[in-house]
Homo-oligomer: A and B are copies of this chain.
Amino acid sequence: MENFIFNSPTRFIFGADEHKRTGKYLAQCGAKKVLVLYGGGSVLRSGRLQEIVDSLDAAGVDFLLLGGVQPNPGSSFVYQTIEAARPEQVDFLLAVGGGSVIDTAKAVAAGLLYDGDFLDFYRGKPVEKALPVGVVLTIPAAGSEGSPNTVITDEENKIKKGTKSDCLRPRFAILNPELTFTLPKYQSACGICDIMAHILERYFSKTPDNAVTDRMCEAVLLAVKDVAMRVIIDSEDYQAQAALMWAGMLAHNNICGVGREQDWASHALAHQLSALFDSAHGAALAVVFPAWMRYCVDEDVELFARLAERVWQVPASDDKRQMALAGIDRYQEFLKGLGLPSRLEHLDVPEEAIPQLVAQLKAACGDTVGNFKKLSMADAEAIYRGCR
């Protein structure tokens, strides 16, 4: 366990009907002119956006509405939004959606207080100030509702890049599981994979002696595993959706990752699939993460074996390596059972694209990626080739 600072000041408002009080929560934060961002039409069609907007009206909070945020959100939309919002003297952003909308809101929130190119923040410049962001979550997956992180695709260079800053943690996040009832099964499955991946990126660590966070990571994985199939079978299972929604926050506000080095190679590898082939983030992770595990298993067989036993119920045995591999198999079978892909070809990514993926990865991350095992670009290529 290493030294750390942990500060998660977001106010989480969890439960049925809470989105109808969004205006009240904005008013409590002193919001005067809110830019409301959302994605596609589902939140419009369902009438949820209208309920939120009505609550802003009722609370006397002025606002602008802007839809059209896309999955794997891009820089051009952020530029346009900053340009549109600047003359309006917006003082608060409200993201109604999942990770793409929230990450876009965070980019706009930082960009509006900066004279230069907002992408500077995604190229290493620290974010020191940003307008406050509020969230009404509709997709349990990215964890951006409780995290300091944001990921945007630099569309000119086709590179998906992230940044983080505590000033990007949302002021409040409204989590109403009912808002997830209309999610397609495949999108829910992608979210489940992403939530688990956020835990696994933290779990695979060379830091010794993590008694508390090891157990916390395993707890969230077990809870997600317990409810995942319920969500796929019945998207209106309130309690299962509630568990998943709260697990998605816990997986990424870093309460499960404090004091330990984290990996994040699988996310970097998956990001290139999204940047070049527009793969859904969770689907890309479902393809990449098991391949990364098989490639890295000998870095710490004990840790893989422990995960296999505690989370995937692989029986304990003296052959730790066999336990480890059995755990990876069960994890991949679990993902397949949710309807997720396991091979590059399932993402319509041809094997011939691998050199280009590696070149993109190098452009985004440099000569090595990850911490649990510092992957060279040759390692990365081998992992892409192992995605089967």
Contact = CB atoms under 8 A, between A and B. Distances in A.
A258 B250 CA distance: 12
A226 interface: yes
Nearest to A146: B6
A233 interface: no
Contact of A8 (B5, B8, B250): B8
Nearest to A11: B7
Nearest to A16: B3
Interface residues of A, number: 41
A14 B3 contact: yes
A39 B3 CA distance: 26
B255 A1 contact: no
A250 B222 CA distance: 19
A216 interface: yes
Given A7-B9, A12-B7, A258-B14, A1 B212 contact: no
Interface in A1-56: 1-16, 18
Interface centre among A214, A223, A240 (most CB of B within 10 A): A223
A227 interface: yes
A220 B226 contact: no
Given A216-B219, A239-B1, A258-B14, A226 B211 contact: yes
14 contacts: A3-B16, A4-B12, A5-B11, A6-B11, A6-B12, A6-B14, A9-B9, A14-B259, A208-B239, A209-B243, A211-B223, A212-B223, A212-B243, A218-B219
